């Protein structure tokens, strides 16, 4: 299933302009547009401005931050495209983190019933996670990614130079999805992540391990485009993780997505021990390693009920049951694992007592 009609071409490059030029030239002059967010616009785009101007690419800038991942921001992109003569033969280039590529991808898939778009993810999280799988979306009515579509960009261009301006916290956040990819499918990838040195990054090497990580996600997406079966593996750590993320927001102590996923993976590894016979020795080693990177999110017993409620809202549930993806061992998955409320609380208790 590896042809590009199924999913987008992923290009790894250290020469962004050359790759972009090749795509821009496929469209009529004046029919290529750019969507980005304020942080990128200030940090990076000045060095590309001349290139975009020369290519006749007009841009729209959305305010940065997850709270701007909303329908009003989509409206701003639609309006911009409409005013600038965008038609069905146009291309929208999206440069930014996962929030921006999700949002602008959604704007592109709905404008005139869908125009081509190309993503250039600029955070580690969006390079290893949001860049693959063709999910677009926005937050709505207080729920994350509540409205969206499945639509592949024509290409995703990955360039680790963007990561040089990312703070350590956001880099570490993206790293959690790489750990997840190793856990669900590729023990060798997990091993190459263990010695990774955040204080002394080799960006060429990082590009290589990002490729290994993305390959895992591509494998699941290619084999299950609309998330009916094994693609659910990619939700490992996310059922509990999203609940932590929402609780943290409610309690006005927000955590980055990857941190929440790391906390969620620890709890779900505990569930894996209880439900699927995951080795307890691996649970202990992995828990200590992830605690060392992510620290711990403090919860009290009084939070358990709310966390459970948040898990019941998960889009991946069916007929009122909370569905987990769990691991019998590293590199193997068991989808649609239905855990009792008692066991879920036991896992939260395990996490709380770390």
**What does R_g of the chain's alpha carbons equal in angstroms?**
20
Closest to 209 in 3D by CA, of 222, 220, 221, 197? 197
Whether 291 and 269 map to the same domain: the answer is yes
Q: What is the DSSP letter of 153?
A: -
Number of domains into which the chain is organized = 2
pLDDT of residue 316: 67
pLDDT of residue 107: 98
Whether 188 and 312 map to the same domain: the answer is yes
Whether 111 and 193 map to the same domain: the answer is no
Write out pLDDT tens, residues 143-170.
Answer: 888 999 999 999 999 999 999 999 999 9
Helix axes 168-185, 203-223, angle to 10 degrees: 50
Q: What domain range is 108 assigned to? A: 9-165
What is the residue-wise DSSP string for 239-270?
HHHHHHHHHHHHTT----HHHHHHHHHHHHHH
Residue 127: φ, ψ to 5°: -70, -40
Out of 116, 137, 165, pick the residue that ends a domain: 165
What is the residue-wise DSSP string for 14-68?
S-HHHHHHHHHTTS-TT-EEEEEEHHHHHHTGGGTHHHHHHTT-EEEEEPPSGGG
Whether 145 and 241 map to the same domain: the answer is no
Domain at 102, CATH number: 3.40.50.1970
Whether 273 and 315 map to the same domain: the answer is yes
pLDDT of residue 1: 33
**Is-above-0.85 flag for pTM?**
yes
Alpha carbon distance 80, 36 (integer Å): 12
pLDDT means per 10 residues, the chain with 354 residues, are 54 94 96 97 92 96 95 98 98 96 98 97 93 90 89 95 94 97 98 96 95 94 82 94 95 96 98 98 98 97 96 74 94 95 97 98
Out of 165, 189, 216, pick the residue that ends a domain: 165
Whether 296 and 284 map to the same domain: the answer is yes
Residue 3's Cβ-count burial label (10 Å; 0-12, 13-18, 19+) is: exposed
Out of 116, 143, 165, pick the residue that ends a domain: 165
pLDDT of residue 5: 40
pLDDT of residue 321: 81
In a domain, 44, yes or no: yes
In a domain, 3, yes or no: no
In a domain, 303, yes or no: yes
In a domain, 338, yes or no: yes
Closest to 348 in 3D by CA, of 309, 307, 289, 291? 307
Whether 202 and 77 map to the same domain: the answer is no
In a domain, 1, yes or no: no
In a domain, 4, yes or no: no
pLDDT of residue 3: 36
Whether 85 and 207 map to the same domain: the answer is no
Whether 198 and 309 map to the same domain: the answer is yes
Whether 172 and 153 map to the same domain: the answer is no
Write out pLDDT tens, residues 73-131.
Answer: 999 999 999 999 999 999 999 999 999 999 999 999 999 999 999 999 999 999 998 87
Whether 225 and 136 map to the same domain: the answer is no
Domain at 304, CATH number: 1.20.1090.10
Whether 347 and 247 map to the same domain: the answer is yes
Closest to 189 in 3D by CA, of 231, 280, 128? 128
Q: What is the DSSP letter of 127?
A: I
pLDDT of residue 130: 80
In a domain, 2, yes or no: no
The secondary structure of the chain in percent helix, strand, coil, rounded to multiples of 5, reads 55, 15, 30
pLDDT of residue 315: 64
In a domain, 264, yes or no: yes
Question: Cα dist. 175→47, 55, 134, 172 in Å?
Answer: 27, 35, 20, 5
């Amino acid at each position: 299933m590896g042809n590009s009609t199924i999913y987008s071409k992923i290009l790894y490059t250290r020469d962004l302009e050359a790759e972009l030029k090749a795509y821009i030239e496929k469209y009529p002059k004046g029919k290529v547009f750019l969507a980005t967010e304020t942080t990128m616009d200030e940090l990076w785009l000045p060095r590309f401005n001349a290139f975009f101007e020369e290519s006749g690419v007009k841009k729209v800038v959305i305010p940065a931050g997850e709270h701007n991942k909303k329908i009003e921001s989509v409206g701003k992109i639609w309006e911009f495209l409409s005013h600038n003569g965008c038609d069905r033969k146009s291309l929208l280039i999206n440069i930014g983190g996962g929030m921006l590529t999700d949002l602008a991808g959604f704007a592109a898939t709905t404008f005139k019933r869908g125009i081509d778009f190309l993503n250039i993810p600029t955070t580690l999280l969006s390079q290893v996670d949001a860049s693959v799988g063709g999910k677009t979306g926005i937050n709505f009515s207080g729920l994350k990614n509540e409205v969206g579509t499945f639509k592949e960009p024509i290409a995703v261009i990955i360039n680790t130079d963007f990561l040089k301006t990312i703070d350590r916290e956001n880099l570490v956040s993206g790293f959690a999805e790489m750990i997840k990819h190793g856990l669900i499918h590729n023990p060798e990838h997990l091993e190459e992540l263990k010695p990774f040195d955040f204080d002394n990054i080799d960006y060429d090497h990082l590009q290589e391990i990002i490729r290994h990580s993305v390959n895992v996600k591509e494998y699941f997406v290619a084999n299950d485009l609309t998330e009916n079966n094994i693609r659910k593996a990619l939700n490992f750590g996310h059922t509990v993780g999203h609940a932590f993320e929402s609780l943290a927001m409610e309690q006005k102590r927000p955590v980055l997505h990857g941190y929440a996923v790391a906390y969620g993976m620890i709890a779900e590894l505990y569930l894996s021990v209880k439900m699927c016979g995951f080795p307890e020795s691996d649970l202990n080693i992995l828990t200590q390693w992830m605690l060392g990177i992510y620290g711990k999110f403090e919860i009290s017993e009084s939070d358990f009920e709310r966390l459970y409620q948040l898990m019941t809202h998960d889009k991946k549930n069916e007929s009122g049951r909370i569905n987990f993806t769990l691991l019998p061992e590293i590199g193997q998955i068991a989808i649609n694992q239905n855990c009792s409320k008692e066991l879920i609380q036991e896992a939260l208790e395990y996490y709380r007592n770390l």
